[in-house]
Structure formats: structure tokens, C-alpha cells
Structure 1
Amino acid sequence: MKFPLFTILLFSFFSYAQNSTSAIVLDRADNSPLEFVGIYNSKNHTMTNADGRFQFSSSSDSIIVYRVGYDKLITTSQKVKDTIYLNKSVLELNEVTVTNEKTLWQKVGDSVRSNYPIYPYKEKFLLRGVLRYNGEITRIQDLQGKLERRTLLYTKEIDPDKKDFKVELTNMRKVGLVKDEKQVYFIFETFYQLFMNFTPMNATGDAFDLTESTFNNGKKINLSFHTKPEFDNEKVVGYYIINNEDHAIERILMEIDFKNNPYKEDGKTRYRTVSVKKEMSLNKSLNTNKYYISSAKYDVKVELTDEQNSYTSYYDVSFILTTSDNEGDFEVKKNVSTSKDLFKINYPYDQSYWNAQNQLLLTDEMLDFIEKIQDPNSEFKIKSNIKN
């Protein structure tokens, strides 16, 4: 059967028409911007940045706005306004101190192999690194590519190895200072170090006190933890959000404060880690029924001084990871070392890709930094692959 040309063109238009939505997501209680809010439907996904902003394009009109610990919003692109408010899920008043689990944590352990891919798989990723020196941004780097993992979780039968990750870098942009005013170069993590840091961790041993509370009519459990008072060298607090139906971990937050951490020597400088914060959100795939890390954040604060303690400087480095196409059917051709300082990796800048990228928007502060730092009159040495 032959169709008129007008019909074919009309069908083509509707097949590729995109609904584009931009907005900011705030906590309804205090109007604070919400980072890591998933914006998605069955075809596409994105997430909010530190400003709570997102841009979402999809051929489907439906939109789901969700972050674990908040009530899910199901809407359409036509109904989305400039600002979206999310309500925190209400914890139910059955909070108890855990003293003996077969509790919940043993059930989580028993369900590991059914909930997570304990086998090799592939996914696509976007990784952002941001470095601050005494509160001011000094470095931004975005890396996009394909990743082949040996496993998501490490069990007693699987020991970590530097060959556990294979990376094919497909896009990168970076701009920042090589050294700061003290002539110090801050070493970025490697792919291997970061992916290992983005591995779910256990904080339920003898060093911790645990507390359970439920929400979403008992469907979710908040398992909070904190180190016992006798462990005074470091304070660890955080929580797990656990799906009570399949005992899968859906979100992890862990904050570590180091007390009187000893300095390490590096020439005339001395440095020590002050604090670490990790966040991870895991989503269940409808295709495999497995949970994958959909987004993660790793923050580290480092204190720097000299032999005479004549000054004190602070570095705050933050890495954000988002993934997609988990267990995708594509080839990963390794083209970058997973053991190299990320900021020393070289890869050409593709302006058309980054202009269209909306998986993780740059914040207003980042945009101002990129514009300012490429000033040719800057006194600092700049390293960048972004061409003006």
C-alpha cells in the first residue's frame, strides 16, 4: 500500500517530536534546592544539579519526579511549572533500637545475589569532578563514556583488582588551575579509585548503633547508623533506605568526620583528610530486575598547611556519577587508563555534544567560573580542553 507523502512526513514528525521541560525542584518544607532528583519516564532520564535545576527532553509526555525519602510525583511535561515542590516521606512512629537482627541486615545479605549484578556488565556514565580551594571553585571536569564492570558488589569470593573496570572515554571537558597560590597541585582520583569508592558499603558491625523506622506504609525502611561513643577517633553517621519487599538497598548516605587525623608529609607541605561524605541511589531495572547505581556523590575535605603551620588551606573535592543503559548491549573499547589522575587525562572537546548534554546541567556558579577562568589576563596557569 502506498501512502501520500504528507502522511509519511506527518508520521515522521510525531515519531521524533520532543517534549522539552526545564524547572527547579525544591524541598517544600524549607525551599532548599534538591540535588539528585531523578526526572524520568520509560524512554529517557536526567537528574537535578546542586541548584535543583534540570532540563528534560523526551518523545513521551509523561514525567516522574522522584528522590528516595520524598513522595513520588507523577505528572506530564504540560503540567510542569517553573518550580516543583517535593514532600519528604513521613517516617512512621515505630522507631526502635536494633539489638539483634535476622533481622533486617541479614535479610539484605541473603538477597544480594537476587537484587544486584554479581557478574560482569556494561553501562554508560557521566562523571563530574569539582575542586574548591578555600571555598572557591578552581577546577571542573566532566567525563562521559562507557564502562565495563566486573561486578557491582564485592563478596567474600570476589577480591578487588585494578582490572575490574574497563573505560571507553567518548567525551570530556575540563578547565581549571594547574596549581593554586601556594603552588600546590591537587591530585584527582583515578577511575579505579572512584568506582571503588562508589561501591555500597557496610556500616552495621559492632562499632555501630542502629535504629529502624518505616515509611511509605511500611514499604520502605530507614536504617540509620552511628558509631558508638567509644570510637572517638572518627564519627560515622548515615542511613540506608531499604525496600521492605525485596530487601534491596535503594539509597545510602554516609558521613565520616575524622578527629585529630595525623598529617602526612609531602615536601614542605602537610595535609590530612578532615571529612568524607558518600551518597548513592540505586534503581531497579524493569528489564533485569536488578538494582544499579543510578547516581552517586563522593565529597572529601582536605586540610593543608606547612611545617611551621603558618597557614591553613582547605580543599573540597566532589565527584558526581550518573549511569544509564545498565547491562546495555554495546562494546567497550578501552582507550584510557583507569589508574591515571583524571585531571591529567587528555581528550578532545566536542562543543556540539556538550551544548546538547542535559543529563547533568552546570550550575550558575560553574558557568561563571568557566567564563572567568579563561580570561587571557589570568595570572594562574590554566589547563583546559575547552576552546574559546
Structure 2
Amino acid sequence: MKKITLLFLYFTCITAFCQKQYKKTLWDNSCNCPVQFATISNNDNYSISNEDGLFNIITDNDSVIFNMLGYEKLSFKLSEIKNDTIFVKSKAFLLDEVVIHSNNIYESIIKSKKTDYTVEPHVEKFFLRTIIRKNNEIIKIADLSGKIKKQGVLKIKDKSSKDNLSVEIDNYRKAYALKKDYRFSFLSSINHFFYSHNSTNLLVSKNFNFNYSTLKDSSYTKMNATLKKDIPGSDIKGYYIINNDNKNFERTNISFFWTDNNYIIIDEDLKFRGLSQNIDTYYKKNIANNKLQINKKIVNFKIENIYDGQKDTIEVSYIYFAEPINSSVKVKDNVNHDKSLFDLKFKYRNDFWETQEKLPLTKEMQLFINKIKQSEYNYTTKTNIK
């Protein structure tokens, strides 16, 4: 029995020894900027770069693939990269000499959404990060991971929340610092995020003009959309990135800008107006059904908030990643869908967060958390991070 125990410990140590941790930063020389939310992966594991371009992966196989729509795909060995920074090359879309006035491409992609995208119920593992900034400084963060069952990628049926969406949270961390008497208004519930941003934001042909640009290798087309008629006080624009082989859109982007001074009045002390919103969505095939579904979604919106005469800019970011899993996996709905993402009550799990690779904390976020833990703020703070 003693020999068996020693052998078990030996092989455990060997396995642990083989696994190495790699921390690198992805950098785009063309814009001299970090490559955000790119995937680094191999057969064992994957990581996603954060807003600083940093990724953190633990693996016993140092051969990985860098893959990001709009960049050249790279395969390399992490152990052979001596520097902390990996430079990657973006692909430029070239404007066609002939402007295409017909909407043949648009019609093709609208047709493909009915057959090539996951519209049936499916289950995903997800990671969601929410950040709120006030006047460019972080005041709230919340990270959640778990499982979700939803009706489809393009539409959620008009039924009750429980019928359409099941969310099981496995891991949760939060931190915030805010004056107790300060108020601002924005929607941050489970329902708001998954219901508002689960559907694909499509730019309707009758409202937009389109022009087209293609990659040098003709693999992808970028279809840019601008409004046909001006809307007083606002502007909307966006684009599709279309795979030319199958006419599927693999990325959609839509941006809203408001220039009027129309405030939404909450009460006599609080009002706000929207400044901008950007929704960037990427799609990936589910190998189980060979259909596309949302793989990542980055939502940023900005408001001007006026409370008790004080004017502030509030910025909210949602960063969402999903990986499809077997649809037979049970999802235990363990959260109130109407609760704010910052008011959930789940214990902090050291074993998960200390080795969490999917989206590392940025330097800015780590500094914010450290200040809260060390009680360096003079106003209300709260965190479940140990």
C-alpha cells in the first residue's frame, strides 16, 4: 500500500512539474496598441488576452495558436519566445475600386442566418466581466463564470425569464468603491445583459447604405453600413465581417452616438443622457451542430450623469465569452435574474481565481482591488475578494 501511495505521489508531481505557466502580451505594431480579447489555444487549454493584451496560460504543451479575426493566424512555441511581448500583424481591408450598389451580399447573409446559426436551445460555459468607470476611474468590477442555457443566438422567445434563460453561477468576484450618497442610473441585472445583448444586432438594409472592402487574399469581405437619412441628435453606423466561402457573418459591429441634450429624468435629483454605445459580436461554430453562435461580445456604453447638480461621465463595459458544451448538461438556475451583477452573493473561491486564465485582471483592475483591500478609499467599499 505504501508503494502504491508513493507511486501516486510521484506521478502527481511529474504531472504538476510538466505544466508551466506562460504570461505574454500580444501587441499590434501597426497601431502600437495591445491586441485585446484574442484567443491563444492548444488542445489542452486556452486563454484570452485582456485589455492590456496580456494572456496567461497554464499548459504542458507549449505549442499554441494565436487566432483573431482581422489578424494573421500564428502557430508558435511559447518556450521559444524569449521576450514578454509577441508582435502580431493585422490584415488590412482594401476598398474595392468598384462600389457595389446592389444588396446581393446582404441578402445572402440574411438568408444564411436562418440555416447556419444556432436558433435552438443550447448550453454554454461563460465568463462575464463588467466594469464601471466614473470620470475615467474604475468604481465597480464584477467577474462571473458559470453555465447558461438559452433559447438561441438570434432571438429569445417572448416568454417568462425562467422559460427562456437559465443561469448557473459557479464563480464570482466583485469589488466597488463609491460614495454612499452618490447615485447613477443604468441597467446591470442578469436579465438586462443576457436579454438585451443575446440577440444578433443586424443593420436593416432599408435603413442603410453599404460599401464593401475585401482582404488581399479575398477570404473576407467587410460590409460597412451608414444611415441613408440623418437622424437629428443621433447617428448609427456599423459593419459585418463576412466569410466569402459560405457568406456567413463572423463578426458584427454597431455603434450609436447621441448628440442631443435630451435627458431621461429619474427624479428631481437624478437625470442622465446617453452619449454612445458600441456592440461588437464574434461568432464561432458549435462542433456539435456545426452552427454558429456567439463566442464573444464586447459592449461599451457611456452616459452623462447628473446627480444633485454634479455632472459625471459614467462608462460601462461588458466583456462576455462563451464556449458551447453538450446540450444535455443540466443548468441549475441559482441566481435571481433581476439582481444587479454587483449585488450577487456568492463566496470567493481562491482555488479558481488564483489560477484563472481565461481573462487576466488588467493592471488598472489589480490596482483598484488592492486599494480596496487596503482600505485606501475614504468612502464606501465592498469586495468578496480575499
TM over 0.5: yes
Aligned counterpart, 2:183: 184
Aligned counterpart, 1:92: 94
**Count of matched residue pairs:** 378
1:256 matched to 2:256: yes
Cα pair distance change 1:194/1:11, threshold 3 Å = closer
Cα pair distance change 1:312/1:118, threshold 3 Å = same
Cα pair distance change 1:345/1:74, threshold 3 Å = same
Q: Return the TM-score normalized by structure 2.
A: 0.89
CA distance in 2 between counterparts of 1:226 and 1:44 reads 40
Partner of 1:25: helix, strand, or coil?
strand
Partner of 2:110: helix, strand, or coil?
helix
Q: Return the TM-score normalized by structure 1.
A: 0.89
Partner of 2:148: helix, strand, or coil?
strand
CA distance in 2 between counterparts of 1:100 and 1:173 reads 49
Partner of 1:332: helix, strand, or coil?
coil
Equivalent pair of 2:22/2:56 in contact (CA under 8 Å): yes
Q: Aligned-pair distance for 1:216? A: 5.2
Q: Aligned-pair distance for 1:44? A: 2.1
CA distance in 2 between counterparts of 1:331 and 1:33 reads 38
Partner of 1:43: helix, strand, or coil?
coil
Cα pair distance change 1:93/1:315, threshold 3 Å = closer
Q: Aligned-pair distance for 1:295? A: 1.6
CA distance in 1 between counterparts of 2:351 and 2:11 reads 28
Equivalent pair of 1:179/1:185 in contact (CA under 8 Å): no
Aligned counterpart, 1:58: 59
CA distance in 2 between counterparts of 1:231 and 1:95 reads 29
1:323 matched to 2:325: no
CA distance in 2 between counterparts of 1:160 and 1:95 reads 48
Amino acid paired to 1:128: R
Amino acid paired to 2:240: Y
Aligned counterpart, 2:335: 336
Matched ranges for 1:167-246 at <5 A? 167-179=167-179, 183-195=182-194, 196-215=196-215, 217-246=217-246
Matched ranges for 1:66-215 at <5 A? 66-80=67-81, 81-94=83-96, 96-101=98-103, 103-154=104-155, 158-159=157-158, 162-163=161-162, 164-179=164-179, 183-195=182-194, 196-215=196-215
Amino acid paired to 1:121: H
Amino acid paired to 1:294: N
What fraction of aligned residue pairs are identical, expressed as a percent?
A: 27
CA distance in 1 between counterparts of 2:288 and 2:110 reads 23
Aligned counterpart, 2:23: 22
Equivalent pair of 1:283/1:293 in contact (CA under 8 Å): yes
Cα pair distance change 1:288/1:28, threshold 3 Å = farther
Equivalent pair of 2:184/2:270 in contact (CA under 8 Å): no
CA distance in 2 between counterparts of 1:288 and 1:57 reads 29
CA distance in 1 between counterparts of 2:8 and 2:312 reads 66
Q: Aligned-pair distance for 1:14? A: 6.1
- The alignment yields a C-alpha RMSD, in angstroms, of 2.6
Equivalent pair of 1:141/1:174 in contact (CA under 8 Å): yes
Equivalent pair of 2:177/2:377 in contact (CA under 8 Å): no
Equivalent pair of 1:178/1:185 in contact (CA under 8 Å): no
Equivalent pair of 2:95/2:212 in contact (CA under 8 Å): no
Q: Aligned-pair distance for 1:229? A: 4.7
Equivalent pair of 1:274/1:303 in contact (CA under 8 Å): yes
CA distance in 2 between counterparts of 1:64 and 1:383 reads 39
Partner of 1:342: helix, strand, or coil?
coil
Q: Unmatched 5+ residue regions in structure 1?
A: none
Q: Aligned-pair distance for 1:128? A: 0.6
Partner of 2:94: helix, strand, or coil?
coil
Amino acid paired to 2:65: I
Aligned counterpart, 1:357: 356
CA distance in 2 between counterparts of 1:378 and 1:14 reads 43
1:44-75 Cα deviation digits (max 9, x unpaired): 22211000000112343321112111111122
Q: Aligned-pair distance for 1:207? A: 2.2
Amino acid paired to 1:21: Y
Partner of 1:344: helix, strand, or coil?
coil
Amino acid paired to 1:111: S
Cα pair distance change 1:245/1:12, threshold 3 Å = farther
Q: Unmatched 5+ residue regions in structure 2?
A: none
Equivalent pair of 1:204/1:225 in contact (CA under 8 Å): no
Aligned counterpart, 2:306: 305
Q: Aligned-pair distance for 1:11? A: 10
CA distance in 1 between counterparts of 2:324 and 2:13 reads 25
Partner of 1:110: helix, strand, or coil?
helix
CA distance in 2 between counterparts of 1:380 and 1:8 reads 49
Cα pair distance change 1:275/1:37, threshold 3 Å = same
